[in-house]
Amino acid sequence: MNVEQVMTLAPVIPVLVVHDVAHARPIAEALVEGGLPALEVTLRTPCALDVIREMAKVEGAVVGAGTVLNPDDVRASVDAGARFLVSPGLTEPLANAAIASQLPFLPGTANAGDIMRGLDMGLTHFKFFPAMTNGGIPALKALAAPLFAARFCPTGGITEQTAADWLALDAVLCVGGSWVVPAGTPDVAEIVKRARAAAALRG
């Protein structure tokens, strides 16, 4: 599976910060049931790698690692069974390690220089992050026009109410969103409901 295939599995990739491994499978099962199979587990908690391992056991789930910062994170994510990698920014050591891993890689970018560096390395798909504080839709439209080979997953500050506006941009294949899974003990029925609404955002 390449990065574009991951990005087009559903219009929304849930961005997940999971603090308890016991919550991993119920969350993943609810998201897949609701129509969101691509799951980004951020490496922001001590148990994140174990969460990836658990979620990867859920049929239909395509589990990736987010907040990947360096080559060590790449190696740990690969070992945990991640099927794609997402980072908040783009550095050469990280990009080289991610490319060498042969996993789909979605590096964070915020400006033309970031995107051009990625394009020079053979990357064409990027996270636009943090989307809202970097100028929102007008900024991405302005960047995407001259950098027309790039495709994006805007993440950061996007809500259920604004996601469709982002998805209407030709350069946007999906958005990253944290609203689908509220913090705390998972309410499976609520997650399924939110996932179904998110999955229906495009078409």
- pLDDT tens, position by position, 70-81: 999 999 999 999
- pLDDT band with cut points at 50, 70 and 90 for residue 202: confident
pTM (two decimals): 0.97
- Spatial distance between the Cα atoms of 106 and 150, rounded to a whole number of angstroms: 11
Point out the residues that are catalytic: 40, 127
Contacts (Cβ under 8 Å, ≥6 apart) of 120: none
Asked if 77 contacts 98 with a C-beta cutoff of 8 angstroms, the reply is no
Tens digit of each residue's pLDDT (9 = 90 or more) over 79-126: 999 999 999 999 999 999 999 999 999 999 999 999 999 999 999 999
Average per-residue pLDDT for the chain: 97
What length does the chain have? 203
Task: State the pLDDT confidence band at 179, using cuts at 50, 70 and 90.
Answer: very high
Band of residue 50 on the pLDDT scale cut at 50, 70, 90: very high
Give the separation between CA 149 and CA 184, rounded to whole angstroms. 39
- Name the percent of the chain lying above pLDDT 70: 100
Sign for the CA dihedral angle at 9, 164, 122, 14 comes to negative
Does residue 121 sit in helix, strand or coil? coil
Compute φ and ψ for 99, nearest 5 degrees: -65, -40
